[in-house]
Copies of this chain bind each other. A is one copy, B any other.
Amino acid sequence: MSKHPHLVALGARIRAVRESKGLSQEGFAAEVGLDRAYYGGVERGERNVAALNLIKIAAVLDVEVGDLFPPTSELQRIKGQ
């Protein structure tokens, strides 16, 4: 799928949290139980990742799901479709 700006913003935030925890993309994907290529696509904003995977990602990162999403006000500035 093409890169929706909201997904790019979400993926960048997930990547930033993962890196702040000192976790490699490969090791993290394995811990969450996601295919590494799929997970790479999530961080690049190429995947419209669904609720259950968002919950798993947040749990392994030990953050709230809300910490993975930019604020609604910022998302509205970014302008989705």
Question: How many residues of A are counted as interface, with CB atoms below 8 angstroms from the partner's CB atoms?
Answer: 26
- Stretch from A15-23, A24-32, A58-66 that touches the partner: A58-66
A55 surroundings in chain B (CB, below 8 A): 6, 69, 72, 75, 80
- Copy count, this protein chain: 2
0/1 interface trace, chain A 37-54, chain B, CB 8 Å (1 if under): 000000000001111101
A62 surroundings in chain B (CB, below 8 A): 72
In the complex where A65-B65, A66-B66, A66-B67 touch, is A76 in contact with B50 (Cβ < 8 A)?
no
Main secondary structure of the interface of A (DSSP, over half): helix
Q: Closest approach, in angstroms, between the C-beta of A1 and any C-beta of chain B?
A: 10
Cβ-defined contact, A50 with B52, below 8 A: no
